[in-house]
Structure 1
Amino acid sequence: MSQPWFSLAAIEDPLGVELYRDMITKVWNGQLRGSRPALTPQEVRLIMAFLDDAPISHQALIGRWTLRKRDEIRGSVRTASGCSVFQDRLFVYMCSSADAWSNYDAWVAELGALMMVRLLHWRESRGSSAMALGIGVREVDNGVEYTYLYTSGPVAVPADIRAHIEWKYGVANLAHGSNRPMTPGRNDPCPCGSRSKFKRCHGAPGRREA
């Protein structure tokens, strides 16, 4: 029987593991760009345990994804998201820049909404509850800023928030590891928040970007 801590990932992808361990270091140091909101000691312990329990191969995957997305979005206003599963734990990550998200509160709200919607997808595709950790990676003028959100148990998300998140980041099937685009009905409200019907907004010919 293989054990998660016996892995060649640390040898094959040391940079990915190093970047993941940097996330843990930032939690330990309370680095949240001025710690707003400040992490409580209990929150630090929960997040540290969540991050530290992941096998090395999982750490390398998340670290490498973060590096790749930072390179892809640099100089743009794009936002990338991903998620991965380890046992009953859900990692949700979002990567962007301060150019796209100059308002920190809006950035945290988006990460929180993404995490909650992915938890709903977990329950719908796997039929159980899970613990979830949201990791926000935002490029700022003086480097990289990490934001951490943690929750567990069942969640409720307003329909309009769910539609907004699924429109931007897709609908995840966490039992099969797939993600599909959301396709609203032509007469449904456009999930972009314009209050127009989809067919007259992002469903019009030639428009699909969120």
Structure 2
Amino acid sequence: MLVDSHCHLDFPDFAEERDQIIERAHEAGVKLMVTICTRVRKFEQIKEIAEAYDSVYCSVGTHPHQAGEETDVTTEELVEIAKHPKVVAIGEAGLDYFYDNASPEDQEKVLRTHIAAARETQLPLVIHSRDADEDMMRILEEEMKAGSFPALLHCFSSGKELAMKGLELGLYVSFSGILTFKRSTELREIAAELPMDRLLVETDAPYL
């Protein structure tokens, strides 16, 4: 059985054929899916999708692109929402300095809020990190010292140092189709060094 641990079934492009998408997923051997939240304030839409399909679960969180919109979201709010039986993860949250959609300060504040929620619930934190290796390592180290939490470096495209730091801190690392790009030689070398029990693969879902 395959599990799609990171999809976005709430995206408008999928609204008119969501039933068919999920049916195609099942036919392809994907029996469970986790639809990922990018805005806590829109969690109701995510929840409705997860509740409508037995095979669909979800997360709750704020994507770093939307961090500036949701700096007021509290750890307590995330923990309360995460009590829903279909919520299996916190996030995705993190740092993205490639795009200038939110300030680094807002992104860090929101990320630390989500880490606190992951620590309290012990649900895995789905971490988005792009062009922010140094700050991400600093934050993860500081927060892990305050108390451990489960987490995944999602769709990894960063440097080796962050991958190794993630392993040192007990995190998982996942790779997507980026791994197959011609220019991704360094990324493939990083993946080859990781122990299999800490490595996940995310495919570009063909059923979409």
Q: Same fold (TM over 0.5)?
A: no
Considering fraction of residues, name the structure with more helix. 2
TM value normalised by structure 1: 0.30
TM value normalised by structure 2: 0.30
